[in-house]
Amino acid sequence: MLKTRQQMEREEMDTLAPYAVRSAETAGRAHPEPNHPCRMEYQRDRARVIHSRAFRRLEYKTQVFLNGTGDHLRTRLTHTIEVASISRTIARALGLNEDLAETIALAHDLGHSPFGHTGEETLNELMRGHGGFEHNVQSLRIVEVLERKYPKFAGLNLSLEVLEGLKKHEKLEAPKRPGASKSRHLNPSLEAQIANLADEITYYSHDLDDGLDFDLIKPEQISKLEVWQHSYSEVRRHFPKLKGRDLTTYVIRCIIDREVQDVIGTSAAAIDQSRVSTVEEVRLQKKPLIRYSPELRRANRELRKFLYKNLYYHPQVAGVNQRACALLRDVFNACLKKPELLGRNSARQIKSEGLYRAVCDHISGMTDRYLMEEHARLFPGQKAKRG
């Protein structure tokens, strides 16, 4: 049986919670397009993100460990897929729009530079006085300006609700159809809030997993962390014979499950207590409604502090990334001196936004591997410059 877009939209109207974002009620796109006969708007957005060049490049960008360091370590792409999976789970349990939550999750890291957060800090330093660099802002820039797939406009022309979900650190405005008056609001949609929290659930637990897998973190170091203690005790009670890697892998799995269930239960209670009945009422709430319980929020704060101290700034992680960022600095400065090194898309931005932004777009879009290859080509036989 053929299921049309109209049928799917009617199903959404009948089954989603009243405060969920519905595809049929989208504020539209910056550049109006005709409806698709058998896909709803956020399904189209999801496909546009997945088929973008920036999405494909995530496979070769660092999450924590430099890409290529280990076959089982997470990349920016595997992290993104994990965030999307958790986002769908939470959205479905709360009666929200799964397609929208997933699309925001899939697009949330498109703007990450090579070499992870160290690369981002290096680019921000190089762009001081020229607008800086921040990966969330760059994700928006990619989907609105830099991707080139359509002859009538730059970017992917995503729905305004998806763009709302990517504006993590910008002043928020409620999505309105182009030309309509704008209204300020305090929070994005619940679907956007889900993608944001799913990102946190994913990278803390999985960075811990990779740290254990790479032997940079020892089980005895984390034995007193509440997040670890709780799930470790549960696993030991049900599977007393588990040990070694089998044990730590299953504990990580249980940590994630606990966090997801906690967010679902806590958020459902917060939504009920708020008495919101529309998307607009969600946006006017003073605090996000998608949240952890106070207990788990404290435990995650403790975990975050531990990871920064023992993993993100571990000499074997930070040292490699710092050396890689010296390569980034060299290539950036070389492109400033010779703009002809820029790709075609980045070169287009020189006239409209200046050389520094064009170079930043070019460098931030590189994968770890490509940047290292470009450095070897530009500086044959030379070591990366320091400082």
Count other Cβ atoms within 10 Å, centred on residue 277.
11
- Residue 98 is which amino acid? E
Q: Which CATH number fits domain 41-317: 1.10.8.60, 3.90.850.10, 1.10.3210.10, 3.40.50.1820?
A: 1.10.3210.10
- Give the pTM: 0.92
pLDDT digits over 318-375, tens only? 677 778 889 999 999 999 999 999 977 777 789 889 999 999 999 999 999 999 999 9
Region of 215 on the Ramachandran plot (φ > 0 left; ψ -120 to 50 alpha; else beta): left
pLDDT digits over 85-136, tens only? 999 999 999 999 999 999 999 999 999 999 888 889 999 999 999 999 999 9
Q: Which two tokens stand for residue 199?
A: 């990102």
For residues 191 and 9, give the distance between their C-alpha atoms in angstroms, rounded to a whole number.
Answer: 17
Altogether, the residues listed in the chain come to a count of: 387
For residues 231 and 302, give the distance between their C-alpha atoms in angstroms, rounded to a whole number.
Answer: 15
pLDDT digits over 270-295, tens only? 999 999 999 999 999 999 999 999 99
pLDDT digits over 171-222, tens only? 566 676 665 556 677 899 999 999 999 999 998 888 888 888 878 888 889 9
Domain edges within the chain: 41-317
Which parts of the chain fold into alpha helices (H)?
A: 5-15, 41-50, 53-57, 76-93, 98-107, 116-126, 135-141, 160-166, 190-213, 219-222, 226-238, 244-274, 279-283, 294-307, 315-337, 344-353, 355-364, 368-378
Q: What pLDDT is stored for residue 169 in this prediction?
A: 52
Give the pLDDT mean for 153-165.
Answer: 95
